[in-house]
Structure 1
Amino acid sequence: MKISQEAAGNATFAQEESLPRVPLPALEASCERFLTWCAPLLSAGELEATRAEVAEFLRPDGPGRVLHSALEEYDATEGVHSWLDTFWPYRYLGRRDRIALNANFFFLFQDSDKPQVERAAGLVAGALNYKRQLDQGLIEPVVQRGVPQSMVQNAFLFSATRIPGAQLDSVRAPYTDACPGPSPARHIVVFFRGAMFRLEVLGRDGAPHSLEDLEAGLCAVMKAGGEPDADTSAGHFTTMARAEWAATRESLITGHPVNAAALDDIETALFCVALEDFAPADIQEACDELLYGDRGNRWFDKAVSLIVFADGRAGINVEHCELDGTTILSFVDALLNTPAEEQSRQSGARPQGLPALEPIVFELDEVLRNQAQAAAEAFAAYGAATATRTVSFEDFGSSAAKALGVSPDAFVQVAYQLAHRRAKGHVGATYESIATRQYRYGRTEAMRVVTPEMVTFTDTMEDPSTDTATRRAAFHAAARAHVTRAKESQAGQVPEQHLWELELIQRRRGTELGVPEQPALYRSPGWLTLRDDYLSTSSAPSANIQYFGFGSTSSRCIGIAYVLLPERFNLYLSTPLAVADQMESFAEELRGVVAELRGLLAPEGSAS
């Protein structure tokens, strides 16, 4: 995640070192919060057992003290930007399952009346203009409520690719020691019908091709793409579990030297563009295709892939290891807020003729062809085993919540809990992503939504004997508790990532530190229950996107990606097919709950 020292001269990144460091919580504080956060989810016996393990963890010579001391020492080490510097690579690059559908996320852009090639060329032009501004340090650091935000993630927008590893993946990217400055690449990779093409979009002097040139280049790709050859596309390899893909990548290179050049073309490309030869039947299908559509037409390891369907509908699929939603929102807003013609003009684009185009061809022997086909079949089955649903509220948005005197995010999170209670009969561990980019190299924190007040609220609403005033008071108490916890989470007063990193230190250095075994805390009812998501939630507020989505995080989890804007509220839900009926029930209950809560709060609209 670290960027090169040379990048500090770029005005976009220049203030990074002056941002405050991510605060390292005190060990006792994290353990106390951990008990408070997991308590509403536990029985009395489970809570008592968890308390006992926390006490053992915290004893004067206990494992927690040793591990925390090691983390403090690491945090004070020269060159370390944050105590999370090692955590993030282990969290994202260390996962060994497939990242396609499981980790990558998507945005569905607002519709356009432009045809496919024109829409795609405009998006490419916008991205090239953004790169020009980034290279020249013209992207102003984001400021929220007067507080500057970390801009490091912008270094991973262009020519960044995740590389599979046997134990731990890595990232190939510019602004690093291997490539200290901006990406020197002049090409993108365009997919069509499972075929890949290297398309030069910048001239030799760095000037972008004109919109007309780009359209001509994309048309040439589609003409050259011919008949589908998707079954054995090398793109399928990126859907495999990471260690398996790492071994296959090694086979690609060692057995067939020409493949190293093909991989280099893809990995150094500024970004990918996937042109689809079909139009989704509806919004639901468009979202699903953006999340896990394949046909050999994706390279899921690429940081940014712009996807344009035959009807001009478009979106983006993002590899998550170095990029969070807030950074991609800024990028997408920059692409879509300015007309393509103006983007092209600003970038200095000029007519240069048909962009240089050449196919990217992999030599696949029978073994590799069979692996590609098997990967395609396995991923198609995995996608088919995932249930998804879009839910849209056209008569509700953040303005309506504010009119009721409630934090919009608190309103929808309270609604989720009541809908889940009615759909499944109980509340369950719920994750909400909280941005912490106000800190140096800051990313996100893991907020847990279920507070005692939230449980009391759902109990109150399910008790037919309670009156309106009691229900209203319970709602406001839950909403206030939610806002308080969100503020604490944004300030880094959160237990989970801290305790998780201590566990990872034990895995990496336990024997050296005298903690050879995993502390029992990490097998306690509290730890296991708190992190076993029933709901995993994240929001992406932008007027330029219709839907945002990601896969669920466990065998019974409902992933909830939501776009909450002043006048609309759109959700994309995902869950394993085995529990699809529960997701459908949740969706139907949520519709009723939103209406019910609006009615409950309308009479007084008291502030929360």
Structure 2
Amino acid sequence: MNTSEATAVAVTTFSQEDSLPRVPLPTLEASCERFLAWCAPLLTAAERTETEAEVAAFLRPDSPGRVLHRALEQYDATDGVHSWLDTFWPYRYLGRRDRIALNANFFFLFQDSGEEQVSRAAGLVTGALHYKSRLDREAVPPVTQRGRPQSMVQNKYLFSTTRIPGAELDTVRSPYSEAWPGPSDARHIVVFHRGAMFRLDVLGADGVPHSPEDLRAGLRAVMKAGTEPPAPGTSVGHLTTMARAEWAAARRTLLARPGNTEALNTVETALFCLSLEDFAPADTQAACDELLYGDRGNRWFDKAVTFVVFADGRAGINVEHCELDGTTILSFTDALLGTPADEHARRSGARTQGPPVPEAITFDLDDETLRSRARSAADAFAQYGHDTATTTVSFEDFGADTAKALGVSPDAFVQAAYQLAHQRAKGHLGATYESIATRQYRHGRTEAMRVVTPEMQDFVTAMDDPAADTKAKRTALRAAAGAHVARAKECQAGQAPEQHLWELELIQRRRGADLGVTEQPALYRTPGWLKMRDDYLSTSSAPSANIQYFGFGSTSPRCIGVAYVLLPTRFNVYLSTPRPVAPQMHTFATELRRAITELRDLLAPGA
């Protein structure tokens, strides 16, 4: 252990978790008041009146809302419960029944390193093994923001974690659990090449990592063994693209065949997956698309972490979202990419032990039903990817420093630009989601922020109002930015309505009969609730100098997913939407370029 690590372990990775403050549970009154304020800009006068009436009913003494909130208060006070959101998160992520491939998993495209494919892949494995060795010793120092320690619990799900499909609710197989106490003791990864799967032991029998030279030789052996792709319908990874209940049924059929239990166990306990592609994407956007929904049997989308390395050495990561948020993956990838692979090897104690020998992972698919499912899953997901439109937007002359120099919060600046571009592209504003990290709380994850405030609405109107002069537009922009920052701070403080009210609805679904609330409260059918959560834009940020692009799929049939990397001197955006919305998405991209320039000019000194 080096000196810096020795200093860091004085405060170990997970040692501060129990001392973190709990996520505050808002009062029912506060959440209802905020809900009405947040949805108001999206509603007509009649819709506001209807929504207000149902909120008033929800707040009456002994109303269903009061009953559900008391149940949540009791749960929050239960021994062993870290947060009132402890049950919310599994239901939100593990309860979804559609496919998670493209719909839920997210990706990062790394900065280019100039290395050829095998060296790049071996370097990523080396860095990941070093991170795991530090994590196992709890030598990864807790992240701090503005002097406040952040929850590190998500790091327990980086290695050997796999989502397991269920008929009604998925589960997670992971270390640091009752079934698998402590860090993962697995020594292998799963390597995909041309749809074939291989087990590759990357740690020796004593747990010491193989040297980069060993790993390079092992990966070359994988590529040699996987020269010929498997027969159609035999790449089991295709099944992970299915809707969850369908995949659960297919998995049960798999387990009924001799030998498949061992094969599944090998995949599910692997430290992570590595996909070695046999092609180079045509351009950056194509690389992003392949990271988001590339398949060819070369993915196991249920795996927490999959590194993807293309034939030309470009690389990225695909992440299963149920236990991992972008902030944790950013810290992980920054640790990997911020240090040369040889230095990772030296610090982890990696040594030459002879090249690891790949072992083919084979499944018994003699059942024609399974082969048919794999083929149909492959075809359906390929079509689903084709039906998704994407594009990238890059600004080399704008970044966070530009906005700061103009006296505006960088995030508020770009969110204002998104709203203006959306108005011009579609002719109206729409519900906009922004993810706000709340890891300063015990087991904290994210909060749902809604971007369209009355001030944002006024700003967008002023920008295209012929009667509004420069001063009026500038005043409106600064007011919108100020309101945005204020709302973001509320979300960071746990004072936001959506997740609170959503969890009350989920309690009614789970426990309504026992609580005497047998019907869904009418609040959840109001125009306010439905419109506030019907995303037209779904936005999230991943600021890191080590990545080029960040991306995810859209969240509704008319939504544009907006994933952005906003750095001091660079601003890159990846957009995705269902193909019927493609023309509007491309117009949005054009209008976004125009809006960034327009707002920068508006705030320029002397304007």
TM-score category, normalised to shorter length: over 0.9
1:65 is aligned with what amino acid? Answer: R
The answer for the alignment partner of 1:521 in structure 2 is 523
Deviation at 1:366?
A: 1.3
State whether structure 2 residue 441 is matched by structure 1 residue 420: no
Shift of 1:260: 0.6
Number of residue pairs matched by the alignment:
597
Letter in 2 for 1:320: H
1:570 aligns to what SS in structure 2? strand
Task: Show CA shifts across 1:151-198 (max 9, x none).
Answer: 000000000000000000000000011111100000000000000000
Q: Could you say which residue in structure 1 is the equivalent of 2:495?
A: 493
Alpha-carbon distance in structure 1 between the residues aligned to 2:231 and 2:14:
40
Counterparts in 2 of 1:60-75, with a 5 A limit? 60-75=61-76
Question: Partners of 1:554 and 1:423 in 2: how far apart?
Answer: 18
* 1:105 aligns to 2:106 (yes or no): yes
CA contact (8 A) 1:419 1:593 kept: yes
Question: What letter matches 1:341 in structure 2?
Answer: D
**1:204 aligned to 2:205?**
yes
Distance 1:156 1:170 in 2: 13
Please report the TM-score for the alignment, with normalisation by the length of structure 2: 0.98
* 1:367 and 2:372 are equivalent in the alignment: no
How do 1:322-341 and structure 2 match up within 5 A?
Answer: 322-341=323-342
- Whether the 8 Å contact between 1:230 and 1:296 is mirrored in structure 2 is no
- Pair 604,446 (structure 1): closer, same or farther in 2 beyond 3 Å: farther
Which residue does 2:4 correspond to in 1? Answer: none
Once the two structures are superposed, what CA deviation does each residue of 1:413-448 show, in whole Å capped at 9, x if it has no partner? 000000000000111000000000000000000000
CA distance in 2, matches of 1:496, 1:563: 26
- Once residues 504 and 152 of structure 2 are traced to their aligned partners in structure 1, the CA distance between those partners, rounded to angstroms, is 27
**3-state SS of the aligned residue for 1:345?**
helix
- Provide the rounded CA distance (Å) in 1 between the counterparts of 2:567 and 2:209: 34
SS in 2 for 1:487: helix
Displacement of 1:61: 1.4
2:482 and 2:10 mapped to 1: Cα distance?
43
TM superposition shift of 1:465: 1.3
Distance 2:592 2:510 in 1: 43
Match of 2:440, SS state, is: coil
Q: Secondary structure at the match of 2:199?
A: strand
Shift of 1:14: 1.5
Cα contact 1:231–1:376 (8 A) shared by 2 = no
| CA offsets 1:302-332 (integer angstroms, 9 cap, x no match) | 0000000000000000000000000000000
1:253 corresponds to which residue?
Answer: 255
Question: Quick one: distance in 1 between partners of 2:10 and 2:324?
Answer: 21
Q: Distance in 1 between matches of 2:38 and 2:18?
A: 33
User: Does residue 286 of structure 2 align to residue 285 of structure 1?
Assistant: yes
Superimposed CA distance per residue, residues 80-136 of structure 1 (whole angstroms, 9 cap, x where no aligned partner): 000000000000000000000000000000011110000000000000000000000
| Aligned counterpart, 2:192 | 191
The 8 Å contact of residues 231 and 295 in structure 1, kept in 2 or not, is answered as no
The partner residue of 2:481 within 455, 479, 482 is 479
Residues 157 and 175 in structure 2, CA contact (< 8 A), matched pair in contact too: yes
- Amino acid in the other structure paired with 2:520: Q
Residues 564 and 572, structure 2, Cα contact 8 Å, conserved in 1: yes
Aligned sequence identity (%): 75
CA distance, structure 2, for counterparts of residue 9 and residue 88 of structure 1:
31
Q: Distance in 2 between matches of 1:493 and 1:10?
A: 29
Q: Contact 1:10–1:135 (CA<8 Å) still a contact in 2?
A: no
Q: Which residue of 2 aligns with 1:446?
A: 448
Q: Which residue of 1 aligns with 2:398?
A: 396
Q: Distance in 2 between matches of 1:409 and 1:437?
A: 19
Tell me which residue corresponds to 1:237: 239
Looking at structure 1, the residues matched to 181 and 255 of structure 2 have their Cα atoms a distance apart, in angstroms, of 26
**Where does residue 592 of structure 2 map in the other structure?**
590
Determine if contact 1:194/1:230 at 8 Å carries over to the other structure: no
* SS of equivalent residue, structure 1 residue 74: helix
* Residue of structure 1 in register with 2:5 after alignment: none
What is the CA-CA distance between 1:227 and the residue it aligns to?
Answer: 1.6
> What does 1:47-86 align with in structure 2 at a 5 Å threshold?
47-86=48-87
Given that 1:396 and 1:569 are in contact with CA atoms closer than 8 Å, whether structure 2 keeps it comes out as yes
SS of structure 2 residue aligned to 1:388: strand
Aligned to 1:123: 124
* Unpaired segments ≥5 residues, structure 2: 1-8
1:143 aligned partner: 144
| 2:329 counterpart of 1:355 | no
3-state secondary structure, aligned to 1:185? coil
Matched residue type, 1:381: Q
Are residues 1:94 and 2:95 paired? yes
**Could you tell me how far 1:604 is from its partner in structure 2?**
5.2
Please tell me the residue identity of whatever aligns with 1:506: Q
Supply the distance in 2 between the matched residues of 1:23 and 1:63 (Cα, whole angstroms).
Answer: 22
Q: Post-superposition shift, 1:367?
A: 1.2
Shift of 1:257: 2.1
Question: For the residues of structure 2 that align with 1:580 and 1:336, how far apart are their CA atoms?
Answer: 34
Closer/same/farther in 2, CA of residues 427 and 262 from structure 1, 3 Å limit: same
Give 1:158-173 correspondences, 5 Å limit: 158-173=159-174
| 1:10 CA drift (Å) | 9.6
CA distance in 1, matches of 2:11, 2:81: 20
Q: Please show how residues 542-561 of structure 1 align to structure 2 within 5 Å.
A: 542-561=544-563
What code does the residue aligned with 1:31 have?
Answer: C
**Unmatched segments (≥5 aa) in structure 1:** 1-7
Task: Give the structure 2 partner of residue 468 of structure 1.
Answer: 470
Is the 1:430–1:533 contact (alpha carbons within 8 Å) kept by the matching residues of 2?
A: yes
Deviation >3 Å, runs of 4+: none
CA separation in 1, counterparts of 2:146 and 2:118?
A: 39
**Hey, what does 1:309 align to over in structure 2?**
310
Contact 1:273-1:306 at 8 Å conserved across structures: yes
Contact 1:193 1:230 in 2 (8 A): no
TM-fit CA distance, 1:45: 0.3
How much does 1:230 deviate? 6.7
Q: Distance in 2 between matches of 1:184 and 1:579?
A: 47
- Residue 182 of structure 2 is matched in structure 1 by 181
- Residue 221 of structure 2 contacts residue 357 of structure 2 at CA under 8 Å; is this kept in 1? no
TM-score, scaled relative to structure 1? 0.97
Deviations 1:458-498 (A, max 9, x none): 11111111100000000000000000000000001100000
Residue type of the partner of 2:420?
L
